Structure 1
């Protein structure tokens, strides 16, 4: 950026009234006929702001002062809010956060999918603090501080926020960040450790430390001492996920339970598990209620992972078929079913986003109910197969309202289903992330 461009960006402070929130949770206003996104500003507020970036379609700005605050503004619990990029909405009351997410969902369904649910489900919520059992923390050696900084990335920068505590991480990791910083600083390669993956199981805490160079014997002593002092399990990752290995090999596996279904699942510290454990329990219960299962139902669970939904489904249905793209997770799902004494399940490996699924044996069967739980990219490629199996009811769990809306439009406008209900589930409180669930029923053709 040249000097003239910098001068234009660093214009004089402006005063505006905030009209709305963007999908990322930023305040939206207009200035000189152009949209401006302002960090931390809330609808209805009159604020003073300074432009930080000009773009062809919109500008970005920094909040300088709230002149007339919204009644929905609250004091953030975290002292790092505004610097750390882990949360975006701590300054907005919980009720308004949920309303914002619900509107994101219904707006996307209408705008993208051209559909509207006749019934809005009550939002699903659990504790808003200390909920995060899975996280990837960045680590960076900072020469000026002569130590390794550990935390999430800062907002709009590549720097790591220098955290002392995290109010959304599950205990004991929420208060462990300074100790992790000290541990990494004590090692012989403090500038060659880019991240720590955190995984909090029901009875253990796993820390996967990425190391770009070999550790010394003294380093290993430090790591073993930290494990003992903080009652955690340390894993080292020198390469890809296949290289992850624990310091000790005599420990029991990581597990989490879904007690209402008498199910316990084992997982590895790098496996995908739902971030919010208490909300996950509520979500599994809601999904099974929405599927309206009977003891005679055969259910297809696409994107099944290690069995988070499949195993509880098997407690209620006659037979469950799970399909997942990652072979290691499929193996874990089979093992989990066996450990829980479930003999009415089958699991298959298939790339649900790319393969010609019509030729797969499992895809040629008839299913009474189908559960979809895809990643952010959605389930578009799998929808023709789903429709071909002619389920009476489809429940779609989504982590992105845009792709859910797109897929809902296909199911309703092309494949013979109607959207009957939808709602949000607050998997990530204090962020703009929208988790949701939608129900589709097959339209029965009238007999002549």
Structure 2
């Protein structure tokens, strides 16, 4: 170990294992070090960013010896863009480490008796798997280390369109090619950037709240429908029409083109109204299982699982875990546009969906009608407030609760409400096994864990979905 101006650099560290959330692990002098940018088997110099008595965090400064597990990343932006941090790992290894993390979180945090955790369900396609991408405009392009101080540094500062640079809120990486979605995403993004620069359109400045172009949101469905939403800082009708007409001309496969005026300081559009410029204003997506197929209307502000093909697997597992016979009342909590409830509906007597976002509930009701499902009801509001005794008295107590909360997990009041309701079965769908484990530990007062199935929705990232079946003791 040597110190450089109070900076700590650990030299020739052997990275021994994978820890969690994309970080690798090493041990030195009895201290555990969590490392960004490394793979088990690497030997590297580690720049320490946080130093505690028993543990430290750091990032790779220089790799001295590459792990035999490494493979060549396929994307030119790898290492700069923070989107697909695991491209240097074979997909089979990614699945192995995700399985390991799911098991460790559920056992260490949950501290409850678990069955043997089923092998993680991998994706058939580890590229072009997303149905939604969002790109950001900025008048500050993130410069690569080799560009700083060169002519390139000043030659291309007119504007960038791409992803946020990791840990830097005001600079954007200019993305030329992204493998997360079908190539249409590259055509749209690069066409818009080129046209904007040619016409002198201003790119957004997040610090000054100036500039015109803010975001592009693309949704590319398995049905062939393509929805694009251009987000602008303010209305400027003539250039807006010119830009939107050019997009339609360059990408005729667009079925719905919208624009949203966002004069706020933040990028969220949940409280804004997208305006339809071309098409019907929404996209149709399809989820299939066996001989069944369900159609879903997805509005520009609705949440829908971003990996359609893996969503089919995730929902099929959820339905299997629910063990439905046709006589059950199923509560679908955090139901979004109703996708899980609708997917399991043909095996249930009644579906009750609850979701806080009102537009999603509007879509959920339309989705039920689209699929000729007459025994599903959907309610907008906070799950904790809606699911009270009067609600259960009116709609019936659930035989099965399916809950699919955000990364933060379930609110503790909802956990206590579920304990009070004491439904025979809970199927817990999670995108964060740490908070899932925490909630399962609380539910252990009345429930045992019968099955656990991790699912990989996002290849080349550290994110993990996991389905758990809990049964009343």
Please report the TM-score for the alignment, with normalisation by the length of structure 1. 0.89
Query: Residue 340 of structure 1 is aligned with which of 362, 366, 371?
Result: 371
Q: 1:395 aligns with which of 407, 427, 439?
A: 427
Q: Distance in 2 between matches of 1:236 and 1:6?
A: 51
Confirm or deny: 8 A CA contact 2:203 2:214 kept in the other structure. Answer: no
Q: Tell me if 1:87 matches 2:84.
A: yes
- 5+ residue gaps, structure 2, are 142-153, 205-210, 263-268
The answer as to 2:399 corresponding to 1:368 is yes
CA contact (8 A) 2:274 2:300 kept: no
Matches within 5 A, 1:28-427: 28-31=25-28, 34-45=31-42, 47-51=43-47, 53-56=49-52, 58-67=56-65, 69-126=66-123, 127-142=125-140, 144=154, 145-158=156-169, 159-185=171-197, 186=199, 188-191=201-204, 192=211, 193-201=213-221, 202-231=223-252, 232=254, 233-239=256-262, 240-248=269-277, 250-251=279-280, 253-260=282-289, 261-352=292-383, 354-355=384-385, 357-362=387-392, 365-379=396-410, 380-412=412-444, 414=445, 416-427=446-457
C-alpha distance in 2 between matches for 1:184 and 1:35: 49
Deviation at 1:397, TM superposition (A): 0.5
CA gap 1:227/1:246 in 2 versus in 1, 3 angstroms: farther
Give me the whole-angstrom Cα distance separating, in 2, the residues matched to 1:230 and 1:248: 14
Residues 227-285 of structure 1: CA deviation (Å, up to 9, x unaligned):
23113243222134343334525436311112333310101122111111110111111
1:146: Cα distance to partner? 4.1
SS in 2 for 1:138: strand
Output the CA distance in 2 between the equivalents of 1:324 and 1:425: 23
Q: Quote the offset at 1:291 in angstroms.
A: 0.9
Gaps of 5+ in 1: 444-448
Shift of 1:417: 1.0
RMSD value, Cα: 2.4
C-alpha contact 2:257 2:279 (8 A) present in aligned 1: no
Q: Number of aligned residue pairs: give it.
A: 433
Q: Work out the CA distance in 2 between the residues paired with 1:153 and 1:241.
A: 20
Check 1:6–1:157 CA distance in 2 against 1; reply closer, same or farther (3 A cut).
farther
Closer/same/farther in 2, CA of residues 181 and 36 from structure 1, 3 Å limit: farther
Secondary structure, in 3 states, of the residue corresponding to 1:436?
A: strand
Matched, 1:18 2:15: yes
Cα 1:349/1:200, change in 2 over 3 Å: same
CA distance 1:423–1:184, shift in 2 (3 Å): farther
- Aligned equivalent of 2:149: none
Checking the alignment, whether the CA contact within 8 Å between 2:294 and 2:371 is kept in structure 1 is yes
Deviation at 1:430, TM superposition (A): 0.6
The separation in 2 between residues aligned to 1:373 and 1:183, in whole angstroms, is: 41
Change (3 A) 1:34 1:259: closer
TM-fit CA distance, 1:308 = 0.6
Contact 1:376 1:399 in 2 (8 A): yes
Query: Equivalent residue of 2:354, what SS?
Result: strand
Q: Which residue of 2 aligns with 1:436?
A: 466
- Per the alignment, in what secondary structure is the counterpart of residue 42 of structure 1? coil
- In the alignment, the residues of structure 2 paired with residue 86 and residue 117 of structure 1 have an alpha-carbon distance, to the nearest angstrom, of 33
Measure the CA separation in 2 of the matches of 1:200 and 1:148.
25
TM-score after normalising by structure 2: 0.85
Distance 1:152 1:22, change over 3 A: farther
Deviations 1:47-102 (A, max 9, x none): 232416344452422241241x3332111111111000111111111111111111
> What residue number does 1:446 align with?
none
